[in-house]
Structure 1
Amino acid sequence: MKEDIIIPKVEGVYIAIVNEYNDIYKSQDWNAYIINDKDVDLEMVLIVTGGYSEDKMTSIFRKKIDVLPKKSYAKIELMQEDLFAINNTFKVTFFEGNQMFDKTYLFRKNTVNLKALQQLPLMSEKGVLVK
């Protein structure tokens, strides 16, 4: 029965960690975003994030986005630089039409840094992208 459940491959949905200027606090902050580069809206987007290493584990953070419009992005959370020394996962589940999609994005430890910044789809800022 379990093998009868088909969850299709996720394409066109990315997670990015962006280094951007915070006008309120006059500081450079790291923020995680979900990017919908598809030509369709995503519905009931559920994101569960957490970090881990061999001897540490962060608390779990959950976020729900009712609708993420096509060719758009949304901020997930502010990330402290200390978290980049451990692995960080973003488990994303969403509906496209009546079909459910699910994917886990992994930022491996020490891969998020200023030297790894690249141009991101749909965003003017640069960041670290996981497809």
Structure 2
Amino acid sequence: MKKDLPENIVEDIAMAVVLIGETPEVKNWTVYIINLKDTPIENVLISSKGYGEKDGKMVKTSVLRHFIGDLKAKSFSGVEAIDPEVFGLTNEYWLSYYIDGVIYDKKFIFLPESIVDEHLIHIPLVDKPGVMIR
């Protein structure tokens, strides 16, 4: 059954954890979806969760669901604020959207400790530093 479904490959879509501001005491981060395509995407839905080991115990965050709606070509949208306390966990974002009535989906997984200053790059369209998965 699953083998009978077409393989709809997600291209030119990214998820990024972006540093939106900082003070000497705290850094503020937000997760964005970025549409690098020349076409809009429709009915964008993202579920997010964190899981892994912290202080020797297995932990899970709540599963959050975000309906973004339609996202224009070459644009981005904020998904959620993210607390640096969960950077030590695996942070998973499962994206689904439509183009011309065809559904696409992909998991974006930020591994533990991957959101660190050494991995920051310039995030296109958002124009701020962050960590991006394409």
Q: TM-score range by the shorter chain?
A: over 0.9
Residues in 2 aligned to 1:72 and 1:27: alpha-carbon distance in whole angstroms = 28
Deviation at 1:65, TM superposition (A): 1.4
> TM-score when scaled to structure 2?
0.90
Per-residue CA deviations over 1:47-99 (Å, capped at 9, x if unaligned) read 00000014111000110011100000000000000110000000000001111
CA RMSD of aligned residues (A): 1.7
Indicate the larger mover: 13-22 or 106-115.
13-22
Q: Which runs of 5+ in 2 are unaligned?
A: none
Residues in 2 aligned to 1:93 and 1:99: alpha-carbon distance in whole angstroms = 10
Deviation at 1:110, TM superposition (A): 0.3
Q: Which runs of 5+ in 1 are unaligned?
A: none
Identity %: 30
3-state SS, counterpart of residue 44 of structure 2: strand
Counterpart code for 2:108: Y
Alignment of 1:18-37 (within 5 A): 18-21=18-21, 28-37=27-36
Counterpart selection for 1:98 from 98, 101, 107: 101
Q: Which has the higher strand share?
A: 2
Alignment of 1:112-127 (within 5 A): 112-127=115-130
Runs of 4+ in 1 over 4 A off after TM superposition: none
Indicate the larger mover: 4-13 or 102-111.
4-13
Residue pair 1:35, 1:74 contacting (<8 A) in 2 also: yes
Residues in 2 aligned to 1:76 and 1:116: alpha-carbon distance in whole angstroms = 21
Alignment of 1:1-131 (within 5 A): 1-21=1-21, 28-54=27-53, 55-131=58-134
Aligned length: 129
Residues in 1 aligned to 2:93 and 2:5: alpha-carbon distance in whole angstroms = 22
3-state SS, counterpart of residue 6 of structure 1: coil
